[in-house]
Amino acid sequence: MTARVVLGVGGGIAAYKACELLRLFTESGHRVRVVPTASALRFVGAPTWAALSGQPVADEVWADVHEVPHVRLGKEADLVVVAPATADLLAKAAHGLADDLLTNTLLTARCPVVLAPAMHTEMWEHPATVANVALLRSRGVLVIEPDSGRLTGADTGKGRLPEPAAIFAFARRALARGPVVPDLAGRHVVVTAGGTREPLDPVRFLGNRSSGKQGYAFAATAAARGARVTLVSANPTLPTPAGVDLVTVGTTEELRKATIEAAAGADVVVMAAAPADFRPAAYAPQKIKKVPGAVPEPIALTTNPDIAAELGERKPPGQVLVVFAAETATTRDAVASARDKLARKKADLVVLNEVGADKVFGSDANTATVLGADGSETVFPEQPKEDLADAVWDLVTTRLTTTS
């Protein structure tokens, strides 16, 4: 799908990263008009933006007045993305100020608007900025949570612009959903992802084939729908989605502790991780040696805690719990087993997947049957994992509406 994208650039040092974001949009076939602020042009000049976009560049409303750009750009855009969005720009957008071409464009846009803030931690956490972000989100503007990391100079903290690839992925989901009110705005969502590893000795572990892709898809799509997302990821190898707070764990017990802590005040918990059902009963502090000709000692296993069941027992009123059931065949017996799991975990939804060495794990697509505690059964054909996640979120939001 070719879209008309307005890429706004605020006056921060992270403006240089917008060049890479622009490249991602143009190489995907989108027509991009860059609208920098006057301050942004002190970091990256207009010739650079014009050369990379193939479009004229202006920062104030007096250029090409006959084309009425301060109205036309916003009205014609399919998507507006501002990266970086400074504290000053967030304040202007929140209060409807329009003193240059970019702020006029934000006022006239009727398409999805994505703002990617970048500033020092103190500025991001200031009550004025917090209030401005809340106001923008209440109006349906998608404000991405900034990353934590190295800032200007020697400072480190939250306020770093997410990587261009992460912003692009976020914007792509917003573009796919269209100009709708983010239905998870104001909600806190916890998603678990990946496979846990249970150590046997310093070099070996008991694990599984989970790549974490489906869980990451749930996190990314929830953020694009306006949620505050905590992603508890076991042994992550995937890039963190933009606007998502990442908590890294290794073992099932670590996953349990982190998830229970995060879920305490959450509106939704999605247990997409694959925690190991068992762990070695004893850990060998030294590498277990292979003895030529000898039969290795059997490995005794013990059962890991059932995280989903514990969450079901702790589930506060109004919280929606989504669990997963991985089966090697989606027969009616598997459906019956998944429905039994739904009841035992006291969950609201269970996502039934057919899994195997060449199915689901590591792939970009998935099929699923989603069973509800209300007796519903919804079958989803093979589709990209992000699309499946969006479809499940549709089922979740219905339950949030009825339980809140």
> pLDDT, tens digit, for every residue of 23-47?
999 999 999 999 999 999 999 999 9
pLDDT of residue 335: 87
Integer CA distances (angstroms), 132 to 56, 89, 117, 136, in order: 31, 10, 12, 6
Does 328 score more than 80 pLDDT? Answer: no
Under DSSP, is residue 258 helix (H, G, I), strand (E, B) or coil?
A: helix
* Residue 168's pLDDT band (cuts 50, 70, 90): very high
Each residue of 30-47: b (16+ CB within 10 Å) or e?
bebbbbbbebbbebbeee
The answer to whether 4-177 and 188-403 have equal CATH topology is: yes
* Residue 330's pLDDT band (cuts 50, 70, 90): low
Question: What phi and psi, each to the nearest 5 degrees, are found at residue 105?
Answer: -65, -40
Q: Is the peptide bond before 179 cis (omega within 30 degrees of 0)?
A: no
Q: How far apart are the first and last CA of the chain?
A: 37
- Cα torsion 63, 64, 65, 68: sign: negative
Q: How many residues does the chain have?
A: 404
Out of 3.50.50.60, 3.40.50.300, 3.30.360.10, 3.40.50.1950, select the CATH number for domain 4-177. Answer: 3.40.50.1950
Residue-wise pLDDT tens digits, 205-243: 999 888 999 999 999 999 888 899 999 999 999 989 888
Radius of gyration of the chain (CA): 24
What mean pLDDT is predicted for residues 388-392? Answer: 94
In this prediction the pTM is 0.80
Architecture category of domain 188-403 in CATH: 3-Layer(aba) Sandwich (3.40)
- Active-site residues, by number, are 208
Domain boundaries, the chain: 4-177, 188-403
